Structure 1
Amino acid sequence: MGETPHTVTTLPTARQPGCPFDPPAELTDARRHGPISRLPFPDGHQGWLITGYDLARAVLADSRFSSRKELMRHHPLIDYGDIEVPPAPPGEFLLMDEPQHGRYRKPLVGKFTVRRMRLLTERVEQITADHLDAMEKAGPPADLVTAFAKPIPAIVICELLGVPYEDRGSFQENIDKFMNGETSDEDLMAAYTATQHYLAELVAAKRANPTDDVLSDLTDSDLTDEELRGVALILLAAGLDTTANMLALGTFALLRNPAQLTALRADPALADRAVEELLRYLSVAKQFHRVTLEDVELGGQTIEAGTTVILSLNTANRDPERFPDPHTLDLRRQSGGHLAFGHGIHQCLGQQLARVEMRVAFLALIDRFPTLRLGVPAEEVGLRPETADIFGVKSLPVTWDS
């Protein structure tokens, strides 16, 4: 029997006023009590909250902690009663364990290697330049989300997967409804249905007339059309939303830390470290959920089989035992080993693509607009709700000297 654990009465969702980049203060406080806390759920289930780096990393690498959707019957903010959760649809491998997960992921690994993603750099540079040209031509002010942060990763991932450019707008709008944390259940289902219908037509088109893209390549595998739709949905949603929010929130963080912005502008060679530090500091993918498949000893506690465990990645990436002075944005920091892309078998497949996009986009933006600054007081920047899967800003008004 371990020590009596700290208890967090409910999963905190409110960030401190004026501190949009920091995790909710209650989460940071929980980590100070220790890396693992009790967390009661609204339906009465007694779960656990992991806030420490070492324990979070260990759980992500441990096959006794499941990602299967049908086991996720407990939500930290919602009481679903006796509703049974169905398994993940075919192809949606993020919510699966081995061997199902590996069957979908394995054909994709070679498509997202470091080398292949670096070969995309020139195209990312051109897409970025085109959007900066449009911003400059239109003149200040601008919403950096719609003018820059969303369209760049959207075009890149759509080209990579073979989504026609003219379809990007409506598709991106539906993906945003999945991820923004504010869509009603009715609108969410409508967006999901429309996306599935679109992807069905796209898969059929790729089978009939393959082109030079990832989705066409996958039609040569043993995946069914339904499975291809699921894989495409995961890749598009992840490729659109996470990077877009990193670009917008990352720019916000740089503008609020002018000394760091000046350092990056003066020394572009800092770009790789800057990207890793922003990933660590912001941790836009805030939480992962796992369920124990058997009794597990963790952090001096016994976690019984069938228990829901929430991994607070934003506090794990701010753990002072792993990252000294963790609440300071330091672009010269060696931030390697952060958990912003997860860890273990579910570690983000597109992380190298995201790194290329961020490195190119941040450097090009601050070079093109040396006087870039917020167009509204920082406290007026609209933040996504904590209920969103990916944290970020709704819009980022900026201006500059013409």
Structure 2
Amino acid sequence: MAHSFPVQRTCPFAPPDEYRDYREEAPLVRASLPGGEVWLVTRHAEAQQVLRGEGISTNPATPGHPNGALSPEPPSPEELEAMRKFSVGQFIDLDPPEHTRFRKLLIPEFSVRRVRDMRPGIQEVVDGMIDAMLAKGSPADLVEDFGLAVPSLVICQLLGVPYEDREFFQSRTRALLSGEGFQAAFEIRQYLDDLFTRDPGDDLIGRLYKGGQLTHDEIVGTAFLLLVAGHETTANMIPLGALSLLRRPGQLARLRENPDLWPMAVEELLRYHSIVDWVAFDRVATEDQEIGGQHVKKGEGIYVLGASANRDERVFERPDELDVERGARHHVAFGYGVHQCLGQNLARAELEIAYRTLFERIPGLGVEQADEELSFKYDSAIFGLKALPVTF
């Protein structure tokens, strides 16, 4: 019998309750969506196998792709054409070799060395937002005043958004995450389109332009993808991770005593929350194959449950506990294989600097409300907090 899917989280510090049952049942289970059935990958080893990409496609245009089953009705020809135009440059949805063409151009922009060079700029952004919070005084909203602002300003630096445009850019990225998705997305893409027509500078867009290997629309689409993929995840992780540590003063005390643990803590927070879960891990088999003892046929859709794989008892001891010294770099919060998150080095740096600086500069930071009084994004594709009132 197929399981009903998707299912929502009911706890801010755990995946949906059903995931544990899925994992115990099998590495792959069948799920019923409004438009058909798909496979759900529940365990870590099989998640890596599917995400590795052999005999697997991520392209939504591939017959049998699971996103087509999310709705009982297929999209109209007009909707398909609009999606096609909007998806130009969205290389996350492409398979090799087309995906490889984009990725090779972008890998140098997110290398360990490049991100190391960006760290002073990230530190400046983080300090600036904490200065503003302290100047405004307690209470503050850690989502609006910090979580959303930090990655927005960092992406401005990366893309080459002029300083005088930052207020507009930030307002549109906030709207993008607060339910005004289509209009905000249109305005951001139009802005990036206009930015591309200016004299190219020494920034990511300028270097792509000077490279001459992508079209105008491909550069605009790529910049938009980097904005959405990098901003939304980090913006949600910053306040959620801060709340998790505030709820566990013993863990936070260990980090304050030994700041060298912060990179390890970031990995654990990524594993523990797995806020993207299955949304970016949509796949379809392009050939018959065996996965986790199941015969998966060509054209069958697959969702990898990242939040389930990252709680797999076969890989992580005491997986439901947050342990900042775990060192869980083999989690799949950033994916795995050819489509592993291109910006993971930047995300790690942003999170590490944001958490460390926040707790160093505001040692009296606290949350007075109970978890049940806070507003979480249980109905959102990417999990997080709608607001986090803090005092200091």
Tell me if both proteins adopt one fold, taking TM over 0.5 as the criterion: yes
Q: Kindly indicate whether residue 33 of structure 2 is the aligned counterpart of residue 38 of structure 1.
A: no
The answer (yes or no) to whether the contact 1:176–1:241 under 8 Å persists in 2 is: no
Partner of residue 40, structure 2: 49
Q: Distance in 1 between matches of 2:118 and 2:67?
A: 41
The answer (yes or no) to whether the contact 1:172–1:240 under 8 Å persists in 2 is: no
Q: Distance in 2 between matches of 1:75 and 1:282?
A: 27
Kindly provide the amino acid, as one letter, of the partner of residue 205 in structure 2: L
SS of the aligned residue for 2:303 comes to strand
The answer (yes or no) to whether the contact 1:42–1:75 under 8 Å persists in 2 is: no
Matched ranges for 1:183-262 at <5 A:
183=179, 188-205=181-198, 209-221=199-211, 222-262=213-253
Q: Kindly indicate whether residue 365 of structure 2 is the aligned counterpart of residue 397 of structure 1.
A: no
Partner of residue 124, structure 1: 122
Matched ranges for 1:1-400 at <5 A:
7-13=2-8, 15-16=9-10, 19-43=11-35, 45-71=36-62, 72=65, 74-75=67-68, 77-81=70-74, 83=76, 85=80, 87=84, 89-179=87-177, 183=179, 188-205=181-198, 209-221=199-211, 222-287=213-278, 288-388=281-381, 390-400=382-392
RMSD of aligned residue pairs (Cα, Å):
1.8
Kindly provide the amino acid, as one letter, of the partner of residue 11 in structure 1: P
Distance change in 2, residues 1:129/1:255 (3 Å): same
SS of the aligned residue for 1:125 comes to helix
Q: Distance in 1 between matches of 2:338 and 2:170?
A: 27
The answer (yes or no) to whether the contact 2:193–2:220 under 8 Å persists in 1 is: yes
Deviations 1:307-338 (A, max 9, x none): 11011101100111110100000001020211
Q: Distance in 2 between matches of 1:370 and 1:82?
A: 51
SS of the aligned residue for 2:387 comes to coil
The answer (yes or no) to whether the contact 1:22–1:282 under 8 Å persists in 2 is: yes
SS of the aligned residue for 2:265 comes to helix
The answer (yes or no) to whether the contact 2:92–2:99 under 8 Å persists in 1 is: yes
Which runs of 5 or more structure 2 residues have no equivalent in the other structure?
none
Aligned residue pairs: how many?
382
The answer (yes or no) to whether the contact 2:68–2:74 under 8 Å persists in 1 is: no
Kindly provide the amino acid, as one letter, of the partner of residue 264 in structure 1: L
Distance change in 2, residues 1:178/1:286 (3 Å): farther
Q: Distance in 1 between matches of 2:311 and 2:168?
A: 37
Deviations 1:114-143 (A, max 9, x none): 111012111211111111111112111000
Q: Distance in 2 between matches of 1:293 and 1:174?
A: 38
Q: Distance in 1 between matches of 2:67 and 2:217?
A: 28
- TM-score calculated relative to the size of structure 1: 0.90
Query: Quick check: 321-330 or 143-152, which moved more?
Result: 143-152
SS of the aligned residue for 1:310 comes to strand
Q: Distance in 2 between matches of 1:305 and 1:168?
A: 47
- TM-score calculated relative to the size of structure 2: 0.92
Q: Distance in 2 between matches of 1:119 and 1:271?
A: 19
The answer (yes or no) to whether the contact 1:154–1:239 under 8 Å persists in 2 is: no
Kindly provide the amino acid, as one letter, of the partner of residue 217 in structure 1: R
The answer (yes or no) to whether the contact 2:53–2:338 under 8 Å persists in 1 is: no
Which runs of 5 or more structure 1 residues have no equivalent in the other structure?
1-5
Kindly provide the amino acid, as one letter, of the partner of residue 310 in structure 1: Y
Distance change in 2, residues 1:77/1:382 (3 Å): farther
